[in-house]
Structure 1
Amino acid sequence: MTHLYADTILYNGSIVAMDEEKRTYQAAALKDSKILALGNEQLMKNYSGPYTEAINLEGKTVLPGFIDAHQHIFNTGFNLLTINCDFSSSSEIVEAIKKRAEESHPDEWIIGWGYNESNFSEDRPLDQYTFTDIENPIFIARYCLHTAVVNGRALELAGISRDTVIEGGIIEKDPHGKPTGILKEKAMELVKSVMPPHTEESLSEMVIRANHEYIRNGITSVHEAGLGFFSGSMEEFKVLQQLSEAKKLNVRIYAMILTDFFKHLNGVKLQGNFGNENLKVGSVKLFCDGTLGGQTAAMSRPYANNRANTGIYMYSDQELENKITEAHQAGYQIAVHAMGDAAIEKILTLFEKALQTYPRSDHRHRIEHAAVTRDDLIQKMKDLGVIPVPQYGLIHDMGDIYMKVLDQPAYNYVFASKTFYDAGLKPAGSSDSPVIDFSPLAGIYAAMSRETKNKSVFLPEQRLSLVEAIETYTAFAARASFDENIKGTLEVGKLADMVVLPANFMQFSAEEVKNTEVDMTIIGGEIVFQRERSHQHG
C-alpha cells in the first residue's frame, strides 16, 4: 500500500474547524491544496514523509480563511493607488489635491476617493467652488461610491449645465440652478464617461494591489459585487481570467456580472459551474436603491431630517421585474443592492413572483446590504430562502449618521445582525470595500461591539458573539456562493484555505479582536502571507 504523505503539516496549534460541531484539532495535514487529515499530533506523524514541511504553530489559532462576501476589488485597488481623501476637513482635501496637481500636467485628471463630509470639523462644504484655484479636472468619490464631487473643469468636459438631467441620478444645483459639482448615483457616469479609459495594464495593477492587501488581512476568497461596476466594461472579467491563469492572483473570486452586461452571457447558464475553484461566475448583480448616508436608500417612511425625502429607485418597477425575471429564469443567483426597507420589500415581492412563475428549490438569491429591515421582511427572507449580506463595519463608520437621519422605527432595524442570525438566515459577512475597511477582523469587531466612531453603541441587542461573527465570514459566506462543500470550514477534503491568528483568539474580546494582526494566510495549502517577526533569530 502506498502511504499518503502530506505536503505540509501544521501542529501544536488550536485548529478551529467552524464546522457544525465546532470541533477543534491540534494538527492538520495538507496535500495537493486540500486538507488530508485533522487530529492530534500523534495522528499527524502518520503523514510525515521525507519532503513534508512541518510548521510549529506555537499554540496559535487557525481558522478557515476569511471570505468577504461583498467587495469591489477593482475599486479597492484603484483607491489604494489614488488620493485617499478621508480627512477631517475640506481644506485638507484641497491641500492633497493641490499637491498632486502641482506634479501633474494641467490636462491630467486628479482622482481622489473616500471623503465623508459628516466627519469634517469645519462647515465649509465640498463642491466645485472648493477647487477654483486648480486647473486640472477633478473627480473625488465619496466613501460610499454613490456620490462624487467634481470641479468646474470636469463639469465643462462632461457637458453638464443647468439644463442637464439624468434618470436614476441627481445633479445637485444651487438656488440659481447652477450645478454645484455634487453628483449622485448615475449622474457620476456623465463625468466618468469623459475620463481616460482604463487599460488592461492599469486594471491588472489595481487587482494585484488589492490582492496583496487582502491576503495580509487573512482574506482567502472574495465575492466580486458586480463585474463592470468600476470600468463600465467586461475587460474586468478578462483581466481576472488572465491574472488567475498566470497565477498572479491569490484570492479566489466568485464574480457577479452587473445586470448591464447580462446580454453578454446570452442566456448561458453559468450558475455554480462556470469557471473553477479560483475564479467563477455565479450571480447577476443589480441596484435597486441608493445609500442611507446619502439619504438615497428607498424607505417606507421619510428621513428624520428631511420629511419630503424617502430615497430613490434606480429602475422603474417594470424594469426591475424584467431584470429579475430574466436572470432567475436563466438559472442565475440574483444579488440585489437594497438598503432601505421599501427597496427590500420591493425586491422580495419580485423574487417571490419569479419563484412562483419559475420554481427553483435552491436559488439562494441575495439582498446585498439589507440595511433597514422589519420583522415582516425578515420572515419573508426566511420563507423565500433569501440570504442577507450585511456590512457590520458600516455600523462603526456610519452609525452616528444613521442615528441622525433615520426615524425611530427604521433606526431599530439597522443591520439587524443578531435577528438575521437567530432567524436562520445565515447572513454572509462582508465589507463593501473600498466603502469601508476590508479587514474581516475590523468587521468582526464591529459585529461584536456595535460601537460607532463617536463611541455610541448602536442597538446592543444586535451584537454577535465572536463565534457567530466568524461564522458569517466563513461558513455562511461560503454558502452564499454555493461553495460550502469546498470551503468555509476546515474539514477533510476541503480546500486548505486558512488564516493563522494569535493563541487563545477564540477567547478575545471585541477590543482585542480589533487590535489583532494576522500571522499567516494559507491558500490551497500554500503560505501566501506571513507576518515578519520583530525579533531576530540568534
Structure 2
Amino acid sequence: MKLDLIITAREIITLDPARPTATSVGVIGERIVGFDEEIAGLDAERTLDYPDATVTPGLIDAHCHTPWWGLGLSAIDLSKARGLDELYALVQAEVERLGDDPHAWVHGTGFNQSHHSGEFPNIARLDELTGDRPLYLRHTSGHASITNTATLKLVGALEPGFQNPTGGVVVRDEQGHPTGVVEEAAQGLVQALLLPYATEQLVGALEAATVRYAAEGITSFSEAGVGGGWIGHSTIEVAAYQAAAERGKLHARAQLMPALDALHSITGHASDLHGQGEGNGLDLGIRYGFGDDLVRFGHVKVFMDGSLLGATAAVTEDFCGHENHGNRGYLLDTPESYRERVLGAYRAGWPLALHAIGDAAIDLALELIDEAQKLYGLLQAPCRIEHFGIARPDQVERGAKLGIAVTPQAGFIGPIGDQMMDRVGADREAWLYRGRSIIDSGMILAGSSDLPVADNNLRRGMQSAVDRLTETGRSLAADEAITPEDALRTHTEWAARATGQIGDKGTLERGKLADFAVFSESPVKAANIAEIDVVATVLGGELSYDSRA
C-alpha cells in the first residue's frame, strides 16, 4: 500500500489519550490512516518533514465573522487611529480617494472609543467631511456603528414620528438630535441600503479572509450568523460559501450558523417536529449538520443582548460610568418572542447558539436551553452560549448541569480587558470571560476570536487565556487562568465538541480529517504561546499555508 502523504516532525501532539504523541502520521485522501509503527515501511506520494517543529490538530475558531472581516479588508482601518483628529484625517483621505462619485460609500471598521479618550466622532464634523456621501463606520464590537446626516436621511431616521426598530436604537442627544451612533438592530436600517452583497463579492471576501486564516494555523471555523438579521450579508449567503469551496477559494472548513431571522415557519406531517407538525427552520427541512466536510450547517445564531463596551449587554446590576439605557443595557426582543421563536427552531432540529454577554441575558439563555432540552431532548450537538461574558457563579453551575458549551473570547483580555473591567467594576471582575471555572464545572470551553472584534491570532488568544493580562499589565480574574494544554484544547478538541464535530476533527486519530497546524515550538511547552510561529497549515492532507514556500 502506498500512502498519499507522510508527515514527520520533532513531535506530533495528538490530544488523543490512547496515543498522546507521535513523530509521523500517514494520510490517504483527506483522512489520517495511522502513526509511527502503523505506517512503518510504507511509501508515500509526498512527504513533509518538520524536524524542528511541533504538529497539532488544526486550529478551530468556534465563533467568527468571516465575510464581515473579508469585506472590511478594503475599508478604512480605524483601529490604528489615536485621537479623533487622526480618525477625521482617515475619513477625509478616503473621501478624496473615492473621487467625484457622490454615491460611493465611505466605509470604515475597527472604531473603539477608548482610542479617543472615550469620545465618539462629532456628527457635524463628519458631515463637513462627507457631505451627501453615505457613511458607515463600524464599531470594533460590531454592535454599533457611526454614520452621518446624509445616511440618517436615507434611512428615514430624521422623519417626524420615526420609531426605533425592535432591539436597536438611533442614539440621540438631550435635544433629540441624532449623534450619528446607531446601536444593535438599528444598524439594519443602514445595512438595508447595502444589502444584498453580490455573491461574487462575498466569494472574494471569503478567499481573502481564509487565506489569512490558514496563515494562523486555522483549518476550521464557525460563522456566527448568516442569511439574516443585521449580521447577514445576503439571503443567499450560503451560495457564496459553496461557490468558494467549488472554486478552491475556501481555505478552511466552514460551519455556518443561520441567523434566527433567516429561519421561517415550516410545517410537516402532524407527527413530525416532535409531534407538533410545525417549527422554525429552512426550506425542505434542512437542519443542523447538512452539508459536506468543507461547508456544513451548524447551530442557529440568536442575538439576545448587545455588547459590553457599548453598555448594551443586558445586566442585573448597573454598569459603571454609563448612563444610557437605564444603565443596565437591554434585551433585543421580549422574552416571550424569544421563547416562541427559539423553541420552534430547536424543535426543527437546530441546536441553539445564544449570544448572551450580560448576566441578565445569560439567565434567559439558560432558561430557554433548559426548557428546550426538557421538552424535546438533546440534539446531536450541545447548545451553546456565545460569549458568556459576565457570568455569575450560579450561572456556571447551571450551565454545567445543562451540559452546554460556552465561547468566551480570551483574545479580548489583552486589547479591551481594561475597558471591560472598568465597565463592570471590581465586584464583578471575577465574572468576566471565564476560563478555569468553566473547565472545572464540566462545561465545554470552546476557543474563539469573534473576529473582527479581536484579531484571529489564536496563539495570542491562547496566551491570554493562560496569563489573563491586559495591554496595560492588569490581571483580569487571575483565578480563571488555564494551562497551555487547556488553551490548545479550546481551539481543537473542545471547539470540535462544541460544534458537534468531534468525530471528524479536534484530535489526531485514525479516520479523522488530516487537518494539522505546524508550529515552530510546542504550544504546550512554549514560554509564550503568542511568540511561536506558524510554520505550515495542512487541510485535508494538502498545504493551505507554507511559510517555507
Please, what TM-score do these two structures have when normalized by structure 1?
0.93
Deviation at 1:391, TM superposition (A): 0.8
Deviations 1:119-152 (A, max 9, x none): 22x5663131231232222110000111111112
Aligned to 1:60: 53
Amino acid at match of 2:390: V
Matches within 5 A, 1:75-224: 75-86=68-79, 87-104=81-98, 105-120=101-116, 125-131=120-126, 132-135=128-131, 136-161=133-158, 163-166=161-164, 167-195=166-194, 197-224=196-223
Residue 290 and residue 493 in structure 1: after superposition, are their counterparts in 2 closer, same or farther (change >3 A)?
same
In 1, Cα distance between equivalents of 2:375 and 2:33: 44
Deviations 1:236-272 (A, max 9, x none): 1011111112232121111111011112604715222
Q: Is there any run of 5+ residues in structure 2 with no aligned partner, and where?
A: 265-280
Q: Is there any run of 5+ residues in structure 1 with no aligned partner, and where?
A: 534-538
**1:338 equivalent in alignment to 2:337:** no
**8 Å contact kept, 1:304–1:404:** yes
Aligned to 1:301: 317
Aligned to 1:20: 17
Deviation at 1:165, TM superposition (A): 2.6
Amino acid at match of 1:97: V
Residue 93 and residue 13 in structure 1: after superposition, are their counterparts in 2 closer, same or farther (change >3 A)?
same
**8 Å contact kept, 1:496–1:524:** yes
Matches within 5 A, 1:217-296: 217-228=216-227, 229-263=230-264, 265-266=282-283, 268-272=285-289, 274-296=290-312
Deviation at 1:389, TM superposition (A): 1.1
In 1, Cα distance between equivalents of 2:360 and 2:284: 30
Aligned to 1:536: none
**8 Å contact kept, 1:6–1:48:** yes
Deviations 1:184-223 (A, max 9, x none): 1112122222236421121111111101110010000000
Residue 124 and residue 255 in structure 1: after superposition, are their counterparts in 2 closer, same or farther (change >3 A)?
closer
In 2, Cα distance between equivalents of 1:194 and 1:340: 30
**8 Å contact kept, 1:332–1:363:** no
**1:421 equivalent in alignment to 2:439:** yes
**8 Å contact kept, 1:215–1:528:** yes
Residue 271 and residue 408 in structure 1: after superposition, are their counterparts in 2 closer, same or farther (change >3 A)?
same
**8 Å contact kept, 2:381–2:499:** no
The share of aligned pairs that are identical, in percent, is 29
**8 Å contact kept, 2:381–2:500:** no
**8 Å contact kept, 1:16–1:23:** yes
Matches within 5 A, 1:378-397: 378-397=396-415
Deviation at 1:230, TM superposition (A): 4.0
Report SS of the residue matched to 2:300.
strand
Deviation at 1:334, TM superposition (A): 0.9
In 2, Cα distance between equivalents of 1:138 and 1:454: 33
Deviation at 1:90, TM superposition (A): 1.6
In 2, Cα distance between equivalents of 1:267 and 1:309: 44
**8 Å contact kept, 1:389–1:429:** yes
Residue 183 and residue 353 in structure 1: after superposition, are their counterparts in 2 closer, same or farther (change >3 A)?
same
In 2, Cα distance between equivalents of 1:390 and 1:240: 26
Deviations 1:477-533 (A, max 9, x none): 111121111100011111000000014443112xx3212221000000101110147
Deviations 1:28-47 (A, max 9, x none): 1111111111126xx54422
Amino acid at match of 2:145: A
**1:399 equivalent in alignment to 2:414:** no
Aligned to 2:268: none
Aligned to 2:66: 73
Report SS of the residue matched to 1:319.
helix
Report SS of the residue matched to 1:247.
coil
Amino acid at match of 2:485: V
In 2, Cα distance between equivalents of 1:173 and 1:194: 21
In 2, Cα distance between equivalents of 1:197 and 1:237: 13
**1:6 equivalent in alignment to 2:3:** yes
**1:483 equivalent in alignment to 2:481:** no
Matches within 5 A, 1:324-473: 324-360=342-378, 363-473=381-491
Deviation at 1:476, TM superposition (A): 0.6
Residue 321 and residue 505 in structure 1: after superposition, are their counterparts in 2 closer, same or farther (change >3 A)?
closer
1:517 to 513, 533, 537: 533
Deviation at 1:234, TM superposition (A): 2.4
Aligned to 2:271: none
Deviations 1:29-66 (A, max 9, x none): 111111111126xx5442215xx222221131000000
Report SS of the residue matched to 2:255.
strand
**8 Å contact kept, 1:324–1:351:** no
Report SS of the residue matched to 1:60.
strand
Report SS of the residue matched to 1:397.
helix
Residue 283 and residue 204 in structure 1: after superposition, are their counterparts in 2 closer, same or farther (change >3 A)?
same
In 2, Cα distance between equivalents of 1:249 and 1:130: 41
In 2, Cα distance between equivalents of 1:452 and 1:28: 38
**8 Å contact kept, 1:165–1:171:** no
Amino acid at match of 2:125: T
**8 Å contact kept, 2:231–2:259:** no
Aligned to 2:35: 38
Deviations 1:360-391 (A, max 9, x none): 36551100000111121111111111111111
Deviation at 1:408, TM superposition (A): 3.4
Deviation at 1:442, TM superposition (A): 1.6
RMSD of Structure 2 on Structure 1 (CA): 1.8
In 2, Cα distance between equivalents of 1:345 and 1:217: 35
Report SS of the residue matched to 1:211.
helix
Deviation at 1:21, TM superposition (A): 5.0
In 1, Cα distance between equivalents of 2:314 and 2:118: 27
In 1, Cα distance between equivalents of 2:195 and 2:303: 25
In 2, Cα distance between equivalents of 1:16 and 1:406: 39
Deviation at 1:89, TM superposition (A): 1.5
